[in-house]
């Protein structure tokens, strides 16, 4: 009887020890679970923060790239706009210049033909003798009328910026004169226009026709001696 009781007590102690051990293990597991949950939460917080920082950095980089690209596009557009404005201004100036040029010189061919007719009129008047007393009254009146017409034509020419070139006594200028012959003389310095065969014309600043002229040439000593011999 005593033996059975002792065994029973030992068995009860064993059971109680196991029960306590299970509770302890359960408590440890709960503690580990709680620690795991805390660590997971902290890790989630850290991960979320790092992900947020990465996203912010990516957004900053993306915004910088967008701003850079936009700035480049704006600069390119400004450059294109300035070039277009410059091209437009150049076209406007060139068009105005061409229009002005057309107004000034579009009738230059007509002017060349007209001045030839005026030359014939002037030659006719120059052929009239200074002493016209022997001419009949109708002829005298005709000459007077032609002289008036010539003066009116010259006035009209000047009104439209068509000017005569009559360089008698001027220094020879190849830009406006055409030398047809030389006149040996010591009365004037060499290279001076001493005779005008045909008047020239200038439309605005453009030469319509050069003046046909004879220019002075210095007489050499040999030519002077030959001339004296001829006179003797």
**Domain ranges for the chain:** 1-105, 107-160, 163-232
Residue 48, pLDDT score = 53
CB 191 within 8 A of CB 216: yes
For residue 158, give both structure tokens.
């000047």
Residue 224, pLDDT score = 52
pTM of the complete model beyond 0.75: no
Beta strands in the chain (DSSP E): 162-165, 177-184, 193-198, 200-203, 206-209, 211-217
CB 217 within 8 A of CB 182: yes
* H helix count then E strand count, the chain: 4, 6
> For residues 134 and 168, what is the distance between their CA atoms, to the nearest angstrom?
32
Superfamily covering domain 163-232: Head domain of nucleotide exchange factor GrpE (2.30.22.10)
For residue 134, give both structure tokens.
């022997």
Those residues whose C-beta lies under 8 Å from the C-beta of residue 120, and which sit 6 or more positions away, are none
Residue 68, pLDDT score = 82
Parallel/antiparallel/unpaired status of strands 211-217 and 177-184: parallel
CB 108 within 8 A of CB 206: yes
Ordered per-residue pLDDT tens for the chain, 232 residues: 444 444 455 555 555 565 555 554 554 555 544 444 445 555 554 455 555 555 555 555 667 777 888 888 888 888 999 999 999 999 999 999 888 888 888 888 889 889 988 999 988 888 888 787 788 888 889 889 999 999 999 999 999 899 999 999 999 999 999 999 999 988 889 999 999 999 999 998 899 999 999 999 988 765 555 555 566 5
């Amino acid at each position: 009887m005593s033996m059975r009781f002792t065994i029973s007590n030992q068995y009860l102690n064993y059971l109680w020890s196991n029960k306590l051990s299970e509770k302890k293990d359960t408590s440890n597991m709960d503690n580990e679970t709680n620690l795991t949950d805390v660590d997971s939460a902290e890790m989630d917080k850290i991960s979320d923060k790092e992900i947020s920082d990465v996203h912010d950095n990516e957004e900053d980089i993306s915004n910088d790239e967008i701003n850079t690209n936009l700035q480049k596009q704006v600069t390119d557009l400004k450059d294109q706009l300035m070039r277009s404005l410059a091209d437009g201004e150049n076209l406007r100036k060139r068009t105005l210049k061409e229009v002005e040029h057309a107004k000034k010189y579009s009738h230059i061919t007509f002017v060349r033909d007209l001045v030839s007719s005026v030359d014939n009129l002037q030659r006719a008047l120059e052929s009239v003798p200074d002493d016209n007393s022997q001419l009949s009254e109708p002829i005298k009146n005709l000459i007077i009328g032609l002289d008036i017409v010539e003066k009116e034509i010259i006035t009209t020419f000047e009104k439209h910026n068509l000017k005569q070139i009559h360089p008698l006594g001027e220094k020879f200028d190849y830009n406006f004169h055409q030398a047809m012959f030389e006149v040996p003389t010591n009365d004037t310095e060499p290279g001076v226009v001493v005779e005008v065969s045909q008047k020239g014309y200038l439309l605005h600043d453009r030469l319509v026709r050069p003046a046909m002229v004879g220019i002075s040439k210095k007489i050499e000593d040999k030519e002077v001696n030959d001339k004296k011999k001829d006179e003797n």
